[in-house]
Structure 1
Amino acid sequence: MACWMSCGRPGRICGWCVRRCGLGSRLVMLLLCRNSGWSLWRVSRNLRSLIGRGSRLSLDTMTSSGTSSDQILGIQEPRIGTWPDGDEAIGQVAVRWFRDFGLTYFPWQNFTQTKMLRGGVRGAKWSAPTVCIVCTRQQGKSWVLVGRMLFGLFQLPWERTIIFTAHLFATAREIFRDVLGIIDSHPELKSRVKRVTTGAGHEGIELKDGSRIRFLARSKDSARGWQADLIVCDEAYAMTADEVAALRPTTTQSVNPQFIYASSAGMDSSDVLRSLREKGIEGSPGLAYFEWSAEDDAQNDDLDAIRQANPSLGYSNQTLDDVLTDLQDLAEDRYRRERLGIWSPIAAENAVPAGAWESCRDREWPESVQLSRVAIGVDVPPDRSSATVAVAGVREGESGVSVELFQQAEGTDWVAPVLRELLDARGRVPVLVDGSSAAAALETDFRAHRVRAQFLSTRVYAQACGAFFDAVVNGRLKHRGQRDLDRAVGVAGQSMKGAGLWVWKRPDTTHNIAPLCASTLAVHGCLNRRDSGQKSSGKRRAVVL
């Protein structure tokens, strides 16, 4: 077998040769393996002629290309899919541009590109500033991301800085090589490059006009201090709230930002991805969500389930036999997640005994309560859809701690101003935040409003969770029976952190335990205050809430 494309090098076909030829498509690789180099060239020319006629791209375009009538084909539309309305002009241009540079996508990849690139015409914003793509492994998610980044880098003038992140550095480096391989294979792209950085952990490409793309492994400090217009997060099943908090603020100054998540099915610890999925199912505004997966109760060898979870089946060199081989070789839970796209379940495990919590309820909670040793707790759920502020303190003449939700509302912009107003009215009060939670991203807002907050380490926060639990089961805590706090306590489980420590854990994305987390922080602040109460002008005073 020889490659007769632009590199002109005879020899066995390998990944290096494909990149050198600029053939980033698995469809072309399949034809190359099955036919001669001449047949491949003929098919490639036919595709270019299709583009030249200006035909409208749809799921029907290319459905039969490279496939035979007796092949089993993956289903091209996502089983779960929601996306905002919008003009698809940019998406249509993008798909044709991809083809011109050898990225001949499968129908499901074209479908995803056009839907996530809705809007952006004549100064308008993207219809979906947030995108999430969930699909089984080895289907071609990465090539969707590669094409999107190349189009933004070379064709969208407002996307000056692009950041690609992955859970593992090896993944980020591999995507960097794929992007660079396509650029090197096309002189019209390569001529626009000013600098390529290849140092370990510093991979990047900069154009002569100043546009650039960086490839990073994620951490809680990734991209801090950067400003970006497009953020692409691969392996999103492993994303944490800390990592989202580090990346999200980088797009605040962009005129038209987009944040893209891509992943295989979530695991029991995939809180960030589960939150996005729940929003996608609900059809949340501003989110384009695409998920190729089988139903949770699907049989392992069900053909329709396999086709629904593997959209590239029959379009690439992936066959039904490959899937069934994995069924024999993989453990059942891994097969269902990796091949059928079925999410790992989360077992409900209520940490706080219902009877103990109910016994702590103060049914005669007064309209106004005088508290000393007051502290404030703030928490934000992973999806950042809302925020909760809780207050705890000691009532006059009592030794136990009283806690209540002070304010809970959608969004997070209101938190810092409310805290500033509260501190101005009540004097110095400690404000506590879990430093590994989504609320940590409020640090900039706190500074702007002169709110001094204590950001607890994971270890200290785990100790706070244990202290809250002890206060409940030992009857040393009082609450007023607020619905949102009751619900949070009723569903929260435990996530072990080692050395006997644990923190509160959500059972799934449908439940918000931020009221419990904020209350835990407030109680911890109250129990650990160095002074005995609030101080103002050197005189102690109680706080009335």
Structure 2
Amino acid sequence: MTLDPWQEYVLSALMETDAGGDWAASEFGLLVSRQNGKGEILTGYDLTHLFLFPRHDNHRKTILHSAHEVKTAIDAFERLQGVIENVPRLMSRVERIYTANGKEGILLRRRPGQLQGDRIRFIARTKKSGRGFAADILVNDEAQELSLQANNALSYTQSQIDNPQVFFTGTVPEEGVNESEVWEGLRDRGRNGKGEHTGWMEWTPEGSRDPDIADTIEPGDREAWMKSNPSLGVRMPLSNIEDQYERSGTDPDGFLRERLSVWPDRRPDQIKHLSDLDTKRWRDNAIPDARLGDVCVIALALGRGGGFATIAAASRFDDQSIFVEHEKTERGTVWVAQYLKELKERLNDALIVLDPKNASPVLVDLQLLGIKYLPMNMDEIAAAHSGFIEGSNNGMIVHRGQEEVSRSLEYATTRPIGRAGFTWEPSDASKPISQAQAVTWAAWGLRKFEALPPKSKPIVRGYA
């Protein structure tokens, strides 16, 4: 393969590492208009991860390459297959190439000490595609078509992966047509520099991110053509853009979107609230010196796939308010049972509440340590959600101002559950909502405990 300088530039940035040897960008987005050579970058990216960077622990490395449509995923597979089959040195490392419909992929021969060879799979995205895989590397092509549900199905395949990376490529979404929350969230983190491990590159005209200046960009501005199309004059003839511009008279916005990648940031008054929670009021409810009281409730929330867990606690702050606090979030779940046991003892034998479906990976561990808990059903989870939002919006949920909790609540959206109720749902899979879940459930657990008749014991599950 012979790459253009701009393509080499993108790939070199993707392969940057930090001081510890991990990928500098665990998520990386590339915004560039159509037919500039994005496919060659994707092929080079797949080749690099498949052949050059094995896992340090000698376990199988899995690359999962997804696209919004079957034909797009197959096209990417055939590109990669064509390169490998024409290079004997690469083919000598291939165990098998799978071409059956829906099973497209390449399996490498096992390296010394490996039980299974490294592999790459190509799939079309659905709400369930990718489940069952543990993917070290994720590729999300045509990310403007990546829905929250499809992203969740894929992103949680990396829950227990050390040093994962996700590569998103796409174009400007069409408002009201594409499900682009994930893509737009990545763009905002990349442009604003708020993602510590976020990489972002875009080829766009000067001022295109400013909603006031973007409206003044002329579709016929040839300087804007050059800034938006890095392969212009190399892979893309100027005459082709001229023809597209001449035919764009009935849809100039489409030309600005598809050919010039004009995608302005949302104005502050256009920013969509992800839930009914008043996040400004939540932050205003912070009381830095607040602490847990004598009667506490503990809540446990696991990230999907059991890749991490969060523990929070709640107690009465005053007659009107409940205090919530994030206690711990850490990768994996093997630590959870012992930590819960110690925290329960420290907080005066505090009641533990959890969602049994969410916490299923640790229920046996709780049983072995004799830890009892109060299970929440769907209706109670929905009630906890609505009660938490109402309480916070009315200043009745207070906290110490822990930034990780505030961010979790700001990134959390909602989904229907139970009897016409809602619960927290990730708006971006790279931003965990387990802190939002845990403090919400802890506040509900305290109200539940307080509502019990005097001297009665809560009904708990578990084993002494």
TM range (shorter): 0.5 to 0.7
| Cα offsets for 1:44-65 (capped at 9, x unmatched) | xxxxxxxxxxxxxxxxxxxxxx
After TM superposition, give the deviation of residue 109 of structure 1 in Å: 0.6
2:324 aligned with 1:404:
yes
Partner of 2:226: 307
Q: Deviations over 1:244-281 (max 9, x none)?
A: 542223532xxx75443323346785247624752564
Q: 1:116 aligns with which of 14, 25, 31?
A: 14
Q: Which amino acid aligns with 2:442?
A: A
Counterpart residue number, 1:347? 271
Maintained 8 Å contact 2:134/2:157 = no
Distance 2:264 2:400 in 1: 33
Q: Is the 8 A contact 2:352 2:373 kept in 1?
A: no
Partners of 1:137 and 1:339 within 8 A in 2: no
Q: What is the match of residue 148 of structure 1?
A: 45
Structure 1 494/260 Cα, relative in aligned 2: closer, same or farther at 3 Å? closer
- Aligned partner of 1:522 among 442, 461, 464: 442
Shift of 1:429: 0.3
Q: Which aligned pairs between 1:332-343 and structure 2 lie closer than 5 A?
A: 332=253, 335-336=256-257, 339-342=260-263
1:376 and 2:276 matched: no
Give the AA of the match of 1:197. Y
Q: Which residue of 2 aligns with 1:291?
A: 202
> Is the 1:464–1:521 Cα contact (8 Å) retained in structure 2?
yes
| Aligned-residue offset at 1:144 | 0.6
Superposition deviation, residue 342 in structure 1: 0.9
Question: Residues 246 and 112 (structure 1 numbering): CA distance in 2 closer, same or farther, change over 3 Å?
Answer: same
Structure 2 residue 106 is matched with structure 1 residue 205 = yes
3-state SS of paired residue (1:164): strand
Q: Quote the offset at 1:215 in angstroms.
A: 1.3
Partners of 2:47 and 2:99 lie apart in 1 by: 18
Tell me the residue number matched to 2:354: 431
What is the alpha-carbon distance in structure 1 between the residues aligned to residue 290 and residue 160 of structure 2? Answer: 45
Partner of 1:78: none
1:150–1:179 Cα contact (<8 Å) kept: yes
Q: Note if 1:243 corresponds to 2:153.
A: yes
Whole-Å separation in 2 of the counterparts to 1:265 and 1:453: 48
User: Aligned residue for 2:30?
Assistant: 133
Taking the aligned partners of 2:432 and 2:411, their CA distance within structure 1 comes to 9
Partners of 2:352 and 2:374 within 8 A in 1: no
The aligned counterpart of 2:396 is 478
2:114 corresponds to? none
Tell whether the 8 Å contact from 2:50 to 2:63 is kept in structure 1 after alignment: yes
Indicate the SS of the match to 2:271. Answer: coil
Percent sequence identity over aligned pairs: 22
CA distance in 2: counterparts of 1:354 and 1:260, whole angstroms? 30
Alpha-carbon spacing, 1:418–1:236, altered in 2? closer, same or farther (3 Å): farther
- State the Cα distance separating 1:488 from its structure 2 match: 6.8
**Is 1:107 aligned with 2:8?**
no
Deviation of the 1:151 alpha carbon:
3.5
Q: Indicate the RMSD between aligned Cα atoms, in angstroms.
A: 5.5
Change (3 A) 1:337 1:370: farther
Aligned-pair CA distance for 1:139: 2.5
Measured after TM superposition, the shift of residue 287 of structure 1 is 4.7
Q: Residue 227 and residue 347 in structure 1: after superposition, are their counterparts in 2 closer, same or farther (change >3 A)?
A: closer
Which of 133, 137, 150 is the matching residue for 1:230?
A: 137
Deviation track 1:443-499 (CA, whole Å, cap 9, x = no partner) reads: 8689778899999999986654334344567x6x83336445896799789767599
TM-score w.r.t. length of structure 2? 0.65
Equivalent of residue 263 in structure 1, options 144, 154, 170: 170
Render the CA deviation track for 1:106-149: whole Å, top value 9, x for unaligned. 221121122323469xx955555543323233332232111221
Q: Distance in 1 between matches of 2:410 and 2:21?
A: 42
The equivalent of 2:242 in structure 1 is: 321
Whole-Å separation in 1 of the counterparts to 2:263 and 2:12: 26
The equivalent of 1:194 in structure 2 is: 95
Is the CA contact 2:228–2:259 (under 8 Å) kept in the aligned structure 1? no
**Equivalent residue for 1:165?**
66
Describe the shift of the 1:447–1:125 C-alpha distance in structure 2 as closer, same or farther (beyond 3 A).
farther
Q: Which amino acid aligns with 2:228?
A: A
Are the aligned partners of 2:295 and 2:350 in contact in 1 as well (CA < 8 Å)? no
Change (3 A) 1:443 1:336: farther
SS in 2 for 1:314: coil
Gaps of 5+ in 2: 111-116, 460-464
Q: Is the 8 A contact 1:432 1:453 kept in 2?
A: no
The answer on whether the counterparts of 1:326 and 1:335 sit within 8 Å (CA) in structure 2 is no
Name the SS for the 2:156 alignment partner: helix
User: Is the Cα–Cα contact under 8 Å of residues 392 and 402 in structure 1 kept in the other structure?
Assistant: yes
2:249 aligned counterpart, secondary structure: helix
Q: Give the AA of the match of 1:247.
A: T
- For residues 457 and 195 of structure 1, do their structure 2 counterparts lie closer, same or farther at Cα, with a shift above 3 Å needed? farther
| Helix, strand or coil at the partner of 1:429 | strand
**Secondary structure of the equivalent of 1:340?**
coil
Q: 2:243 and 2:384 mapped to 1: Cα distance?
A: 49
- Displacement after TM superposition at 1:220 (Å): 6.5
Q: Deviations over 1:413-432 (max 9, x none)?
A: 79947545324543550135
Alignment partners' CA distance in 1, 2:83 and 2:170: 23
| Superposed displacement of residue 514, structure 1 | 7.3
Amino acid at match of 2:353: P
In structure 1, what residue type is equivalent to 2:342? E
Alignment partner of 1:328: what SS?
Answer: coil
Equivalent residue letter for 2:253: E
